[in-house]
Amino acid sequence: MTSIFNVTKEELESYFIDKGEKKFKATQVFEWIYRKEVYNFDEMSNLKKDTIEMLKNDFYFDELKLVTKQEDELVKKYLFELNDGHRIESVLMKHDYGNSICISSQIGCNMGCKFCQSGRLKKIRNLTASEMVLQVLTVQKDINERISHVVIMGIGEPFDNYDNFMNFIRIVNDPYGLAIGQRHITVSTSGLVKKIYEFADEETGVNLAISLHASTNEKRNNIMPINKAYNISEIIKAVKYYIDKTNRRVTFEYILLKDINDTKLDALNLCKLLKGINCYVNLIPYNETENTEFKRSNYDSISNFYDILKKNRINATIRKEFGSNVSAACGQLRAENN
Ligand code: SAH
Ligand code: SF4
């Protein structure tokens, strides 16, 4: 038995073929679930009784229990409880271009980035594809509006849960699934280089963001332990491969930490590093969290940093603040309710 929300349409097609049935039944089941929001095989009225019984033997409908919801006008933060009692968070953001959800991919995270609240809790386990899909379905149901964009930037390192993450993307992107376009999906990684190559070879149109946060190995080692396994030049090499393979622009995320990585020299090093790469830099004002020594860079440092990138013709934006009223900003998830 597995949750039906773990299963891609291709997998369900093979299932039906193995059972000697027509593969289009997979499309029918997907339409019931993801179009009509019917979470019960008995109500799938265009399927035969035997087919329904067969499905009931092999699959069940999983759900997420909503524990709390905090909201302001544009942001809603959801705390969910999983079947084994662990808790995860998802954040919905209302943009002018649509509703975007930020989902978690693991319970805790093993990467141990010094500035990140989510990483304070060691990884307990990976989320299943079902638990990722259900974050989208449950929030969509709650707001009673379509979710058009997905970012995998909540708790966890998605490339450390690669297979489930890929199934999640396939289900979300499937035209008979949630039908969210690949260009409306963004995955962020702290730089698991091997998986960047693997992901490049999938040749999806999903947006890739790399959490860089420093322009020298010395500095990156200090704030992101993963850099000791995969250093900056290995990341850059993998990113170049990704761009060659997919022809897509890559985003580099760079949190500005006061006196740590926000000087003029840091900016110049970053320009050297990224010169000639089809990318843009997302400068992120640090969201201060409890128990970290880091401070947000002041306004002048942020805008000087930005100006240096611009002068060197590196595309850059300063991330708009979102969600700090409800502690739903990046890196603040699971700061409470532990
Ligand atoms: N594990 C993945 C995705 C989740 S983190 C990754 O690290 O890329 C999503 C983004 O939020 C990352 O760029 C991360 O570095 C950033 N982030 C973490 N803590 C933050 C904080 N306190 N303030 C601002 N951004 C933060
Ligand atoms: Fe994990 Fe990403 Fe936080 Fe690093 S920034 S600890 S990789 S969730």
Q: Are residues 134 and 253 in the same domain?
A: yes
Domain's final residue, options 18, 33, 60? 60
Find the catalytic residue in 102, 109, 113, 330.
330
Q: Are residues 95 and 152 in the same domain?
A: yes
Helix (H) or strand (E) holding 97, with range, is: none
Q: Are residues 31 and 144 in the same domain?
A: no
Q: Which domain holds residue 19?
A: 2-60
* 330 is annotated as an active-site residue: yes
Give ligand 1 pocket residues (Cβ under 6 A).
115-116, 153, 157, 188-190, 211, 253, 255, 284, 286-287, 289, 330-331
Query: How many whole angstroms from 129 Cα to the centroid of ligand 1?
Result: 21
Q: Are residues 36 and 147 in the same domain?
A: no
CATH code of residue 51: 1.10.150.530
Domain count, the chain: 2
Q: Are residues 219 and 317 in the same domain?
A: yes
Domain's final residue, options 60, 83, 103? 60
Closest residue by CA, ligand 1 atom 5? 153
Q: Are residues 47 and 91 in the same domain?
A: no
Sequential pLDDT tens for the chain (338 residues): 999 999 999 999 999 999 999 999 999 999 999 999 999 999 999 999 999 999 999 999 999 999 999 998 899 999 999 999 999 999 999 999 999 999 999 999 999 999 998 777 899 999 999 999 999 999 999 999 999 999 999 999 999 999 999 999 999 999 999 999 999 999 999 999 999 999 999 989 999 999 999 999 999 999 999 999 999 999 999 999 999 999 999 999 999 999 999 999 999 999 999 999 999 999 999 988 777 789 999 999 999 999 999 999 999 999 876 656 666 665 566 644 54
Q: Are residues 146 and 31 in the same domain?
A: no
CA distances from residue 310 to 250, 259, 264, 278 in whole angstroms, order as listed: 17, 21, 13, 14
Which among 106, 118, 188 is the best mutation to test ligand 1's pocket, defined by most ligand atoms within 8 Å of the CB? 188
**What's the per-residue H, E or C state across 155-197?**
CCCHHHHHHHHHHHHHHHHCCCCCCCCHHHEEEEECCCHHHHH
Eight-class DSSP state of 74: S
Domain's final residue, options 17, 43, 60? 60
Per-residue confidence (pLDDT) for residue 331, from 0 to 100: 59
CATH code of residue 107: 3.20.20.70
